[in-house]
Amino acid sequence: MYMVAPRTLVVIPTYNEIESVPRLISKVCQLLSEVHILVVDDGSPDGTADAVEALNQSALQGRIFILRRKEKAGLGAAYLAGFEWGFEHGYEAMVEMDADGSHRPEDLARLLEVFYADPSIDLVIGSRWVKGGSVKNWAKKREILSRSANKYAGFMLGSDVKDMTAGFRVFKSSGLRRIDFSTVKSQGYCFQIEMARKVLAFDGKIKEVPITFVEREFGVSKMNMKIVVEAMVRVTLWGLRLKK
């Protein structure tokens, strides 16, 4: 079992993740003795929220919390709601983590170790595209799409971050407080690009740590063409503004 500094909140957005999220929560709590977990559920009809509630009545009571939202409002909105909840409850660090098992708890331990070792860090990104990072069970075209999107985002935004679309992150709460959430409009993986962009805008320090990203075993990916188009349009507009 790893030990990390207390007051760490892992925020996990869910929509129909009843098969995967209880397993993930159990693994995280077993491996990391002090973290708390907030599941932000967007009204999953499959009973995901109830399954999480049941976990909180088990031996994990006091470490698992559920924020029930009435309808599916998107990844970005779910994370921002989770961050606001974390501010209200005094957490020093907040983690973004997928519910589907793609993000490994053992990698989370490494992200937190790097984060707490350097007080100057505002954001740690679990990166697939730095040396030592990798993906498992991905189709080649998906890998090409992800690599290309990240290279394009880096070029347009003048950033050397290799994996701006990564959704496995640790934010310093004091840094998050410097971001006006009302100005964050993106959903999908564009939300991740926008949040990294906003950290860079206040000269925040970002550290990338290699991870192994594993394709989901259960459920259905939320990725679609609308999310891809949103990212391309927003990144292009942000980049053109910078180059004026």
State pLDDT tens for residues 217-236. Answer: 765 555 666 777 788 889 99
Report d(CA 178, CA 176) in Å as an integer: 5
pLDDT computed for residue 242 by the predictor: 80
Closest CA to 130 of 208, 206, 212, 214: 208
Residues 76-124: tens digit of each pLDDT: 999 999 999 999 999 999 999 999 999 999 999 999 999 999 999 999 9
123 burial class (0-12, 13-18, 19+ CB within 10 angstroms)?
buried
pLDDT computed for residue 62 by the predictor: 85
Residue 19, φ and ψ in degrees, nearest 5: -75, -30
Bridge partners of 241, per DSSP, are: none
- Domains of the chain plus CATH, in order, are 8-242 (3.90.550.10)
Report d(CA 66, CA 143) in Å as an integer: 33
Question: Residue 243: is its pLDDT beyond 70?
Answer: no
